[in-house]
Amino acid sequence: MSAPSADAPAAARLRRPSDLRREIFARSGRAARADGPSPSWPDGFVHSQGDRSALMVLLHLASLTARRLLEVAQERRTAAACLEAVMGGVTASDADRALAGSISPDEVTSGLLSVGARLVAVGDPGYPAELLDLSDPPAGLFVRGLPLDELTPRVAMVGARNCSPSGREVAGSLARALAEAGACVVSGGARGIDAAAHRGAMRAGGRTISVLGCGIDILYPGQNRELLEEIAGSGAVVSEYPPGTPAEPFRFPARNRIVAGLGRALVVVEGAKGSGSMITADHALEVGREVFAVPGPVTSPLAAVPLELIRDGATLVRGPDDLLGDLGLSRAPAADGSGDRTLPPSERAVWDALTTAMAADSLARAAGISLPETMSALVALELRGRVRQAGGRYERRMEGGRA
């Protein structure tokens, strides 16, 4: 297809990512970031051990957000000089100034070592360069697990905490496919879609990164403590917050920008209107990441964010093949032969008739076979992992979609 002329009507032109970004931000009532370059961290911001110690203190100060610290760094140039500005009353709140005077970098280092964590400062070899696309990249990340530069390529996935069973299954299936294709799955460690994405990647023997909205030593939410420990053992858990920082609501939108920034693309699986899923999608669009969305029923509140994103130009994802194809990734063939299309006649009849969630008797009539034959076929298909029972009805599983 040839490129449209510069004077082509706006409606006739394909929208570029920058066009889509401006449109979404205009609807949300927020100004999109200007196309000009944002401030960047000065070379040598963390050059000496004194700078590293100063950064450990600076990262504790709530009034010195990443953006504000970046602004101060434009003038002061080093972390140590920024801390001097804090202690001299030039920046940060009075409370944070008092807090800064009470923090011992050695004690912070001991706390990190006690949980197997480390500080990766901007400019360090292990600092993800992708985060520098953000308008407010963190000055440092606390990391447990593998070096982040070993966990590439990365694809982020987010969605509803109170997700549906089908949403959980879709997220797990997509994450498993990404892992089988060699990608690292990035998410936020929350219950629901986040947890399903992490588990799907690990069950495929892949790697995953969880970005916390609290201190690196706090495994939140508590119900995912074992999951987060498993992620730290095989992938990485990261946070911009130092040890002891509690999980508070305002930290999670900030966390979402890191989830979006780490991935080369973002996949949204379910999200109610006004949820963190849209916040993460906004961040992804702002830094030029491709956004994918899994559609849901128009009557479902959980489909609000994916459907809005698709309407606005996000790429619709029907399953793993769509996602991998659009990302240019190839999944390794299943070692257990689950991709075999050959089914016995009764199972094939039931599978072909099961186009929506159905009760067993209705399915038997649709398949044209007896109820006992239908039940036997359903049991076999369940054992193959191709169908599941939910609320007295049977439905296809996404991972069984290649029967």
- Interval 199-247: pLDDT, tens: 999 999 999 999 999 999 999 999 999 999 999 999 999 999 999 999 9
User: What would the pLDDT profile of 35-58 be if each residue is shown by its tens digit?
Assistant: 556 789 999 999 999 999 999 999
Per-residue pLDDT at 36: 54
Check pLDDT > 70 for residue 341.
no
Query: Residue 400: pLDDT above 50?
Result: no
Q: Residues 274-297: what's their mean pLDDT? A: 95
List phi, psi (to 5°) of 218: -110, 115
Q: Which residue has the tokens 């949820």?
A: 275
Structure tokens at 118: 């480390």
pLDDT of residue 23 exceeding 90, the answer is no
Indicate the pTM of the whole model.
0.81
